[in-house]
Every structure is written in structure tokens, then in C-alpha cells.
Amino acid sequence: MNLQTPPSAATSAGRPAKRPLDTVVKLALGVLFSSFALIWGGMFLSRPDRSIPPYSIGSQEGHIVAVHVPSWTSDTEIETLIERFRKVGAESRNFGPMKIRPTTADDPKGRYQRIAIYVFTDEGWTEPDMLHKYVTGDDAAVRDGFEGSVRGFYKLDEREEEGRIGPVLRGKDSAATAVYSRQLFKGPVASPAASPTTPAP
């Protein structure tokens, strides 16, 4: 006596047989995975430059720019960022790709003939109203706090450039500030073939 269960009964007793995916479902899945592939490819191709620390332009007023970097950014990383600014200044003077608006838009010689970049780890100093107070110079306490909180500085004009790590207390350098401040370079604008860091004169 054959007691085997017919295939139809087995199917109804257990889980139902799998049906092939509908064409519409296949198209939807294809579009979904293609979208993820495009997004990933776009992020990979447009990924930020890993040779410099992440930064953002907090505010800009005229030729003065306040830049924010994460609080954990080291002096060495900030120096790398300053050297990148220096390289751009020597090669093209086009800081647009670095997210900085033209600083001398009406100058026939170029849109970035003068620029002063202050780098902070405290984003409070990069707020537009704080930068405006510093530029106007009406509040001495704001001016001293602004310059004393700087972690990196780069300045460029038509002929000279300057880069330093630490506070930029103009005319108020002391033994205490000298511990946290170090000049990287100062002098004529370097040529593209110049060494990464030129000693200050």
C-alpha cells in the first residue's frame, strides 16, 4: 500500500510554492539598486580631499575669512591646511574651489588679490556677527578674544604672504603667547616650486 502524500497535498500542507518575481517588482528593485550605486559612485568621486583636515567657511567679510575646523584638529593638520592655502595662492590665486568667495571681486588684477584667513576650532568665533565686530574694531575685548583664539592664520596680498600657527595678537606677543604661536613663513609669495615651508626671515 502506497502511503506517499501527493505533491499537491504536500504543497497545501506546507509552505506554498514560490512564484517568480513579477516584472514590475524586478524593475523596481533594479531602479533601487541602480540608485544606490549612482549615489555611492557620486560620493566616491566627489569625496573631500583627505590630505587636509575637514573645514567649513564660517563667515566672510571683504577679504577676511573665518574658517572652522573640528575641535580635535591638531596643529600639524592645521599647518597642512595653511600650506594648501599657500599652494593655491602661489599657483592660481583662485580660492573658489576651497569655498571662499572672491575677496577683491572688482580688482582688474584678480578676484583674490588680498586675503586673510583665520582658522578656529571654536565655531563661535566664526559666526558672521562676531567677524563683523572684529572687522569694525569697535570692541577691544572682541578683538583680543578673536585674535587670541586663532589656531591658524594665512595672509596673502599682491607681493607677500604669511602663515602661522596659534594666536595672532598684533603687537602683544609675549613669552606666554609665544609658547602657543609659531610662524611658518613670512615674505615674498612663494613660487609653485618652493619648498613646503620656508623659514621666516
Whether pTM > 0.95 for this model: the answer is no
Cα–Cα distance for residue pair 56/59, rounded to 1 Å:
9
Confidence of residue 49 (pLDDT cuts 50, 70, 90): low
Predicted local distance difference test score (pLDDT) of residue 110:
85
Residue at which a domain ends, from 10, 28, 49: 49
Asked whether residue 13 is domain-assigned, the answer is no
Residues facing residue 117 across a β-bridge: 65, 154
Q: Are residues 61 and 34 in the same domain?
A: no
Q: Are residues 149 and 165 in the same domain?
A: yes
Q: Can you read off the three cell numbers belonging to residue 83? A: 600650506
Q: Are residues 100 and 117 in the same domain?
A: yes
Q: Looking at residues 155-180, what average pLDDT do you find?
A: 77
Asked whether residue 157 is domain-assigned, the answer is yes
pLDDT cut 70: percent of the chain above it: 73
CA atoms within 13 A on the CB side of 65: 27
Which range among 79-93, 138-152, 161-175 shows the weakest confidence by mean pLDDT? Answer: 161-175
Number of structural domains (the chain) is 2
Contacts 24+ apart (CB under 8 A), 169-178: 169/144, 172/144, 177/148
Residue 27 structural domain = 20-49
Q: Are residues 93 and 180 in the same domain?
A: yes
Asked whether residue 134 is domain-assigned, the answer is yes
Q: Looking at residues 17-24, what average pLDDT do you find?
A: 72
Q: Are residues 166 and 94 in the same domain?
A: yes
Q: Are residues 133 and 180 in the same domain?
A: yes
Strand ordering across the sheet containing 115-120: 56-61, 64-68, 115-120, 152-156, 160-165, 182-188
Asked whether residue 193 is domain-assigned, the answer is no
Cα–Cα distance for residue pair 39/23, rounded to 1 Å:
24
Scan for cell 616650486, then name that residue: 193
Asked whether residue 9 is domain-assigned, the answer is no
